[in-house]
Amino acid sequence: MYSGSSDGEGHEAAPQRKIPPASSMPWVRNLRHFIGSGAGLGSEALMELETKRILLDMFKEKQQKNAEAGKIPSFYKKASLIIKPEEGSISQRVQNLAKMRFLKKQTDLLLNADDLDAMWVCLRENCVIDESTNAEKMNYEDFCHIASVCTEQIGPKCRRFFSPSNFMKFEKDESGRIAILPFYLYVMRTVSLTQARIDMSELDEDSDGFLQPDEMETYIRGLIPNLAQLRDMPPGFAQMYCRIAGRKFFFFCDPHRRGKACIKKVLLSNCLQELMELHQEIEEEVTDTEQAENWFSLTSAQRICDLFLALDKDMNGTLSKQELREYADSSLTDIFIERAFDEHVRRSKGGGGSGGNTREMDFDSFLDFVLALENKDTPEGLTYLFRCLDLHGRGYLTTADMHTLFRDVHQKWIEGGNYELCIEDVRDEIWDMVKPADPLRITLNDLLSCKQGGTVASMLIDVRGFWAHDNRENLLQEEEEPEEE
Highest-confidence segment of 60-74, 336-350, 399-413: 399-413
Contact indicator for 300, 241 with CB cutoff of 8 Å: no
Cβ atoms of 420 and 403 within 8 Å: the answer is no
- Give residue 51's pLDDT band: very low, low, confident or very high (50, 70, 90): confident
**10 Å Cβ neighbour count for 123?**
21
Query: Of 63-72, 259-268, 415-424, which has the strongest mean pLDDT?
Result: 259-268
Fill in the amino acid letter for 186. Answer: Y
Contact 332, 408 (CB under 8 A): no
399-415 vs 334-344: helix axis angle to the nearest 10?
Answer: 130
pLDDT at 160: 92
| Mean pLDDT, range 455-465, rounded to an integer | 95
129-161 pLDDT, tens digit each: 988 888 999 999 999 999 999 999 999 999 999
Q: Report d(CA 148, CA 136) in Å as an integer.
A: 19
Q: Which of 245 and 6 is assigned the larger pLDDT?
A: 245
Residue by residue, what is the 3-state secondary structure of the chain? Answer: CCCHHHHHHHHHHCCCCCCCCHHHCHHHHHHHHHHHCCCCCCHHHHHHHHHHHHHHHHHHHHHHHHHHHCCCCCCCCCHHHCCCCCCCCHHHHHHHHHHHHHHHHHHHCCCCHHHHHHHHHHHHHCCEECCCCCCEEECHHHHHHHHHHHHHHCCHHHHHHHCHHHHHCCCCCCCCCEEHHHHHHHHHHHHHHHHHHHHHHHHCCCCCCEECHHHHHHHHHHHHHHCHHHCCCCHHHHHHHHHHHHHHHHHHHCCCCCCCEEHHHHHHCHHHHHHHHHHCCCCCCCCHHHHHCCCCCHHHHHHHHHHHHHHCCCCCCCECHHHHCCHHHHCECHHHHHHHHHHHCCECCCCCCCCCCCECECHHHHHHHHHHHHCCCCHHHHHHHHHHHCCCCCCEECHHHHHHHHHHHHHHHHHCCCCCCCHHHHHHHHHHHHCCCCCCCEEHHHHHHCCCHHHHHHHHHEHHHHHHHHCHHHHHHHHHHHHHC
What pLDDT, on the 0 to 100 scale, is given for residue 176?
92
pLDDT, greater one: 472 or 331 = 331
Mean pLDDT of 97-102: 90
pLDDT tops 90 at residue 192: yes
Q: Are 334 and 325 in contact (CB under 8 A)?
A: yes
pLDDT at 293 over 50: yes
Mean pLDDT estimate for the chain = 85
The reported pLDDT for the residue numbered 292 is: 77
Q: What's the rounded Cα separation, in Å, for the pair 122 and 135?
A: 16
**Given this model, what pLDDT does residue 92 score?**
81
Mean pLDDT of 42-64: 78
- Cα gap 384→27, rounded to integer Å: 85
Q: What pLDDT is attached to residue 327?
A: 95
Question: Distance between CA atoms of 376 and 362, rounded to whole angstroms?
Answer: 21
**435 and 310 in contact (C-beta within 8 Å)?**
no
Percent of the chain past pLDDT 90, that is, above it, reads 64
Global pTM reads: 0.76
Half-sphere exposure of 440 (CA within 13 A, CB side): 0
On the question of pLDDT at 339 being above 70, the answer is yes
Quick one: CA dihedral 251, 256, 258, 260, positive or negative? negative
Question: How many Cα neighbours within 13 Å face the side chain of 277?
Answer: 16
Q: Nearest CA to 127 among 155, 157, 149?
A: 149
pLDDT exceeds 70 at position 1: no
Tens of pLDDT, residues 310-328: 999 999 999 999 999 999 9
Categorize the per-residue pLDDT at 74 as very low, low, confident or very high, splitting at 50, 70 and 90.
Answer: low
State the amino acid at position 478 in one-letter form: E
Q: Hey, CA dihedral for 178, 180, 185, 191, is it positive or negative?
A: positive
pLDDT at 49: 79
Tens digits of residue pLDDT in 220-278: 999 999 999 998 899 999 999 999 999 999 999 998 889 999 999 999 999 999 999 99
Percent of the chain with pLDDT over 70: 82
The arithmetic mean of pLDDT across residues 51-80, rounded, is 72
- Residue 113, burial from CB neighbour count under 10 angstroms (0-12, 13-18, 19+): exposed
